[in-house]
Amino acid sequence: MDFRFTPEQEAFREEFVSWLNKNLPDDWDPSRYRNYDSQEEWGRAYSDFQGRLFDGGYTAMHYPKEYGGQGKTLMEEVIVSQALFSTCPELRIPGVVTHGMAVPTIFTCGNEEQKREFLPKIMDGTHIWCQGFSEPDAGSDMANVSTRAVRENDHYIINGQKVWTSFAHLADYCILIVRTDPTVAKHKGLTYFLLDMKSRGVEVRPMTQITGEAEFNELFFDDVRVPVEMRVGEEGQGWQIAITTLMFERVLGDAIMGAAYETNIQKMIELASQTKRSGRPVIHDPIFRQQLAQASIEVMVLKYHGLRSLSNQLKSKIPGPEGSIGKLLWSEPNQRITEAAIGMQGPNSQILGGSPWTIQDGYWQYSFLRSKGNTIEAGSSEILRNIIGERVLGLPKDVSRAKRD
């Protein structure tokens, strides 16, 4: 057992961090949590920076070279991703769905043409992808998708609606799950597609969220024609493809969150040292000290649990059951951590960015509100606990779901 990087891994990390410090965009200010006023500028900043990473040889470390990767292992990818998310998460966020979901799906389940066509253009920053899974009546009950695809010669005609589609307004392509067979059991009638967002009949309507921004969208499909070549796998395999690809990238996602939240703890220590209550820094207040400690302990748990899951996956090549809890270990603590950071600020916590009394650029106000989505997106806490209860602990399904499946 060894929790440290090997000397080679450590040397690689140092090499990358030094490259990163020289290659951050000139106009990017690390003291701001959001440098770009419009979503379009944000998307462009992501694409430009992704291009730099690609040119530097630091993108998709664990994917083969022919698809735009570097032919190394997941370990190198973790090292690069952790450094990126602890330094400049803003420059990565518009690509989270692209790299976390579209890439592994296309790589694992796509055919050779699809891999060669789409992966390199993701790696060099040309394309951003979005994910069309959720629908108004298919949230946690993802198998309830009702958007229809009907085969017509060498095309499918798609009609329906998706919702909560992150970054669809910036996306060039979409990974999409639709119903091709309404006559079989719900999760058996689904098929996976790659969709060109410029196709006729695709409409994107931004949705304003709790933070006042519009990261999410509604997607409407009106007789959208998708060539058969854009289908991933066979008809009816959509559910299986969605589930398996999610599993494989999970440890990477958890490792990324661990690194990002370590930065948050540093920020919280600064916050507690600078913010005053009764004339003295709140870091001297025993109650806030306890909260700061609890926040940092939960981040340590996330980090070391992440390393354990990662090691197990590197060794056994398949995700172990301990990997199923990673998302709960970042989403729920993040709500507690941001809540504590807001609490430390007292009434100043009500002030957003742009005032002389703004604290840390309004980062915690944004993070507190944004964290409310953490326990819903990418598998709600309730769905994750169903999965753990049923697949890991072997508890029975509830009667209504057991009947349907």
Q: Which residues are tagged catalytic?
A: 249
Contacts of 399 (CB under 8 A, 6+ apart): none
The footprint of another protein (CB under 8 A) covers 1-6, 9, 75, 265, 269, 273, 283, 286, 289-290, 292-294, 296-298, 300-301, 304-305, 307-308, 310-312, 314-315, 321-322, 325, 328-329, 382, 384-386, 388-390, 392-399, 402
**Residue 171 CB contacts under 8 Å (≥ 6 apart), including other chains:** 128, 129, 130, 197
Nearer to another protein, 98 or 334 (CB): 334
Adjacent-strand bridge partners of 160: 221
Q: Residue 386 CB, nearest distance to another protein (Å)?
A: 7
Residue whose C-alpha is closest to residue 144's, from 60, 239, 65, 44: 239
Q: How far apart are CA 104 and CA 246, in angstroms?
A: 8
**DSSP per-residue codes, 108-129:** HHS-HHHHHHHHHHHHTTS--E
Judged by DSSP in three states, 21 sits in: helix
Cα separation, 17 vs 132, in Å, equals 34
The contacts of residue 305 (CB under 8 Å, 6+ apart) are 254, 322, 325, 326, 329
Minimum distance of another protein from residue 85's CB (angstroms):
18
Q: Which is nearer to another protein, 6 or 18 (CB)?
A: 6
Is 186 in contact with 144 (CB distance < 8 Å)?
yes
- The least CB distance from residue 82 to another protein, in Å, is 12
Q: For residues 116 and 289, which CB has a smaller minimum distance to another protein in the complex?
A: 289
Q: Which is nearer to another protein, 119 or 310 (CB)?
A: 310
Q: Quick one: 75 or 178, whose CB is closer to another protein?
A: 75
Largest CA distance in the chain: 74
Rounded to the nearest whole angstrom, what is the least distance from the CB of residue 74 to another protein in the complex? 11
Map residue 145 onto helix, strand or coil: coil
Which CB sits closer to another protein, 286 or 356?
286
Q: How far apart are the first and last CA of the chain?
A: 42
Provide the minimum distance between the beta carbon of 104 and another protein in the complex, in angstroms, as a whole number: 22
Taking the CB of residue 120, how many other CB atoms lie within 10 A of it?
18
Residue 89: CB minimum distance to another protein, A:
22
CA atoms of 193 and 363, how far apart (whole Å): 37
